[in-house]
Amino acid sequence: MSLRDRSPSRPAGATRITLVRHGETDWNAQGRLQGQLQIPLNRRGRAQAEALATLLRDTRIDAVYSSDLLRALQTARTIVRHRGHEVHEDTRLREWDLGVLVGLCRAQAEHDQPYAARIRREYRVDEPIPGGESIRQRYERVIAAVGEIAARHRREDILVVSHGGPLGDCYRRTVGKDIRERMRIDLRNATVNQVLIDGNDWNLVFWARTDHLADVGSRPNWGGHR
């Protein structure tokens, strides 16, 4: 059964956006902050991408957009490799630019970069990570990108492959939570999520589907609130 078959009917002008988080990388497995570095999928991540391709095989997809980071592109290209779709890269779909925190595990970040780690831990929305960006800056670029994609493809079915932070932003926008309010969202690698967008009206269809990963597994999102 396709995802389209499982979804409710939509308003005439709405775009159906299927949001997918990239598959696992070695840095995900190690709990290291990747930010915007070019980290490839690991063995399990590639298996997760294959599971996504199987899940979405019979689902209508009119266009495909992805973060330009390697882990997202590898996931997107695996999903559509037999469908003939071009994968449109959009840098606005990148993960949070974590600046000086990139490459560090949580304990290392607290020890080596305590100021930057505090920004992340205390959810200081408007304070940029040194060398990177703020949560609000990430949120604004991601929501603008997804909104523009929806407007460009009204009444179509679109696949967007991105990262935990950006997809958490989409969930927040869809359920109407203010960016200053803490939320804890479990967005495991290779989860599938779906929203309907009709102008400024964003509606949730389903979130954090993982049943397609039963045979390959997916780690909990250790990164905390989004």
Q: How far is CA 103 from CA 26, 134, 164, 221, in A?
A: 12, 18, 16, 17
Torsion sign (Cα): 29, 30, 34, 37: negative
Told to judge if 148 belongs to the known catalytic residues of this protein, a careful annotator would answer no
Look at phi and psi of residue 217 and say left if phi exceeds 0, alpha if psi is from -120 to 50, else beta.
left
DSSP conformational letter for 32: B
Q: Which amino acid is at 208?
A: A
Active site residue 95: yes
Query: For 38, left (φ over 0), alpha (ψ -120 to 50), or beta?
Result: beta
What is the DSSP annotation of 107-157? HHHHHH-HHHHHHHHTT-TTSPPTTS--HHHHHHHHHHHHHHHHHHTTTSE
Catalytic residue among 22, 24, 133, 163: 22
How many helices (H) and strands (E) the chain has is answered by 8, 6
End-to-end CA distance of the chain: 31
C-alpha span between 135 and 138 (Å, rounded): 5
The tokens for 172 are 């927040």
Catalytic residue among 24, 95, 133, 163: 95
Residues serving a catalytic function are 22, 95
